[in-house]
Every structure is written in structure tokens, then in C-alpha cells.
Amino acid sequence: MGARDVRPKRTKAGTSRGAAATRRALFVEAYIGNGRNATEAAKAAGYSPKTAYAAGARLLRDVQVRQLIEGRTTEVLAKAKLTVEGTLREVARIAYFDPRRLFDESGKLKPIHELDDDTAAALAGIEVLEEYQGTGSERVLVGYTTKVKHADKNAALDKAMKHLGLYEQDNEQLGNAIARAIIVPAKRPAGYGIS
């Protein structure tokens, strides 16, 4: 008897096993790329629009697909250098932005290269407009108008509060107040209120 071939069999693309592996990989890439919409990812992976919702839900329950998503997400975040710490630092920079740090002691706007890192990170844009006087050959540059736009402080504070769970505490307090309001009327004496 000859030696038995124990090498794993390779699956060609286009066969059902190979096609399924390809679709899983396409699904994972689309799912991560589109903001984690399983239905749209299933469509991108080749599933029909009619079955995409069910296919997306089924794929998300598949342990192998979940492992692929987790591994690929970790890889993408590492390449982008996107971390929870870094993201929260940027949210904090915007949330705690103080516009006074844009100006020097005399009240003049600081040049961009003189801004500290926290202040610069909170800016959404700077627009410099040249101001002229006169027309034609007598037109002369007389100065500049600088418009500074900072990132949305309210949105940053909202994100920080959500991350810290502060809304959950408010919701719990509100829920308790509503529960007390519902329970108290049940304890009122007979004949109280409208008859």
C-alpha cells in the first residue's frame, strides 16, 4: 500500500465552499466599511436585496464571521491608530475648548503656529480674507479678516456624557420619579378627586 495523501483539499473559487468563503470575506469588509449595516453588507457580498436582511442576520450569528469581523476591526483600528483613549482625548479637547486661548495678552488673534495642541485640535477651520480698498490700479491691500470656526462643543459634551453614563443616571432618576408619581395616586383615600 502506498502513502495516503493527507494534505487538505483546496477549494476553487466558484464552488459552493469557496463562494461561501468569498461572500463571508466580502460581507466582513462591507460591514466594517459601511458603519456596520448587515443588510447593506449582505447586498455588497452578492446576496439578493430580497434575502439580504435575513442573510446579514444569519452571517452575524456565524461564529467564524464574528471572529473575522473582530480580527479585521482590530487590524483596521491599529492601522488607523484609532484608540478609545485618543478618541476621548479629542472629545475632551473640544468639550473643554476655551476661546480665550486663541488670543495673546493684547487681545490679538495668535498665529496658528502659536496655538497649543488642545486649542488647535478644537478648531474646525480658519478662513483668512484679504481686505482691499480702492479699485483698478489704485486697489490696495489694507488688511486681513480672520474667521475662526471651532468644533461643536455641545456635541462633544453630549458624547462625553454618553460615554460617562451620565444620561443613564438621569434616565434612572426620571424613571424613579415617574414610578413614584404612578404609585402615589393609588394610595389616595377613598372619595379623593372626581367622583
Q: Which domains are present in the chain?
A: 16-80 (1.10.10.1400), 97-151 (no CATH)
- Give the mean pLDDT of 136-163: 90
**Would the CA dihedral through 90, 91, 92, 95 be positive or negative?**
positive
**Is the full-model pTM beyond 0.75?**
no
Binned at pLDDT 50, 70 and 90, residue 181 comes out as low
The pLDDT assigned to 179 comes to 66
Q: Residue 48 corresponds to which cell in the numbers above?
A: 439578493
| Pairing relationship of beta strands 140-150 and 123-133 according to DSSP bridges | antiparallel
The H-assigned helical ranges of the chain are 16-33, 38-44, 52-61, 63-80, 84-95, 117-121, 153-164, 166-186
In the DSSP assignment, the letter for residue 62 is: -
**Mean pLDDT for the chain overall:** 84
Place of cell 485640535: 121
Q: pLDDT tens digits for 46-80?
A: 999 999 999 999 999 999 999 999 999 889 888 88
